[in-house]
Amino acid sequence: MRTREPVLVSAHRCGAGGDRELENTRPALERALALDVDFVEFDVQRCADGTLVLFHDDWLWVEGRRRWVGELTFEEFAARAPHFLRYDEVLTSLVGRARAHIDLKFTSPSAAYGHPAATYEVAATRMAVEVLGAENLIVTTLDDKAVRAVRDWADDTGHDLLVGLSLGRRVAGLPWARQVRIRLSELRPRTRYVRSRANLVVAKHTIARCGVAAFARRRGLPLLVWTVDTEESLHYWMRPGRAWLVTSNDPALAMEVRSAYPRRRAARTRAGQRPAS
């Protein structure tokens, strides 16, 4: 049965909108919080020394060549990154103001996944749980093994945590056969969701319309749709029952569209209760 609770709103990349210079920055964060959004979404990268930073891209230019963020110390990264925030300071800023939508952009060494508590993803999640509480955050990632590690750790430690496997990754530039395999695995995600143990369906809005939303309903899982920006698309996805959470580059418009729908039981939803199925 579909829930009729109001659809929640997440500010994409801290609410930077179309301005890449504002992505994952303090001005964007404060602007999103001033809107009273339900969630703030941000991208997390891990530097070589273990420092976690808010940064979307996997690499940046160093002396004329691309270097992976994961290969740079925090000092090297900070000297070259045009804009960023530290993960710990953002978590602190969100306390009592909004919930965190943490999109992990890094992975651990393959051997670490045999011991979930030893993975980098769990370390980042543990920090967020300690600051915000498991009920005030969700974790998403493109990597199936990372989802499984965080879910296993959450179960082992008794945390009721939503962890989502994201569907809709960029495939441009990949070999044609691999592009096809990836898209098929996203349009028919049952096997990946069972193996990863994801308990939150996360899909690009185009993928969500191609059967993934129906998949989430059949399995009784909450649906997070990203990134919904046009007024027409927002009217579709903000209708109660279509999704649990919508991520948008225009959270102000998303909240305006939501206001057109009845806000029945909204206070209970915003208080952090688990989404109903």
**Gap between the terminal Cα atoms of the chain:** 6
Indicate the angle between helix axes 144-157 and 120-132, nearest 10 degrees.
50
pLDDT at 268: 43
pLDDT at 230: 96
Query: Between residues 277 and 57, which one has the greater pLDDT?
Result: 57
The confidence band for 2, taking pLDDT boundaries of 50, 70 and 90, is low
Cα separation values, 266 from 10, 80, 95, 100, 119, Å:
15, 43, 20, 19, 36
Give the separation between CA 239 and CA 54, rounded to whole angstroms: 31
For 120-143, the pLDDT digits (tens) are 999 999 999 999 999 999 999 999
Three-state SS string over 225-244 comes to EECCCCHHHHHHHCCCCCCC
Residue 180 has pLDDT above 60, yes or no: yes
CA atoms within 13 A on the CB side of 93: 21
Could you tell me which of 3, 41, 36, 34 has the C-alpha nearest to residue 166? 41
The confidence band for 3, taking pLDDT boundaries of 50, 70 and 90, is low
Give the separation between CA 262 and CA 185, rounded to whole angstroms: 36
Residue 271 has pLDDT above 50, yes or no: no
Q: What average pLDDT does the structure give for the chain? A: 92
Locate 95 and state its tokens: 């306390």
pLDDT at 273: 52
pLDDT at 264: 47
Percent residues over pLDDT 90 in the chain = 79
pLDDT at 60: 85
The mean pLDDT value for 90-107 works out to 98
The mean pLDDT value for 205-227 works out to 97
| Enclosing H/E stretch for 79 | helix 74-80
Three-state SS string over 126-182 comes to HHHHHHHCHHHEEEEECCHHHHHHHHHHHHHHCCCCEEEEEECCCCCCCCHHHHHHH
pLDDT at 265: 45
Locate 141 and state its tokens: 């990632």
The mean pLDDT value for 107-111 works out to 96
Query: Between residues 271 and 93, which one has the greater pLDDT?
Result: 93
Residue appearing with tokens 């590690």: 149
Q: Are 30 and 22 in contact (CB under 8 A)?
A: no
The confidence band for 19, taking pLDDT boundaries of 50, 70 and 90, is confident
pLDDT at 173: 87
Residue 81 has pLDDT above 90, yes or no: no
Dihedral sign (CA 211, 216, 222, 224): negative
Residue 269 has pLDDT above 60, yes or no: no
Query: Between residues 260 and 2, which one has the greater pLDDT?
Result: 260
Q: Are 15 and 40 in contact (CB under 8 A)?
A: yes
The mean pLDDT value for 57-71 works out to 86
pLDDT at 44: 97
Give the separation between CA 76 and CA 72, rounded to whole angstroms: 6
Residues 8-43+88-270: name the CATH superfamily: Phosphatidylinositol (PI) phosphodiesterase (3.20.20.190)
Residue 257 has pLDDT above 60, yes or no: yes
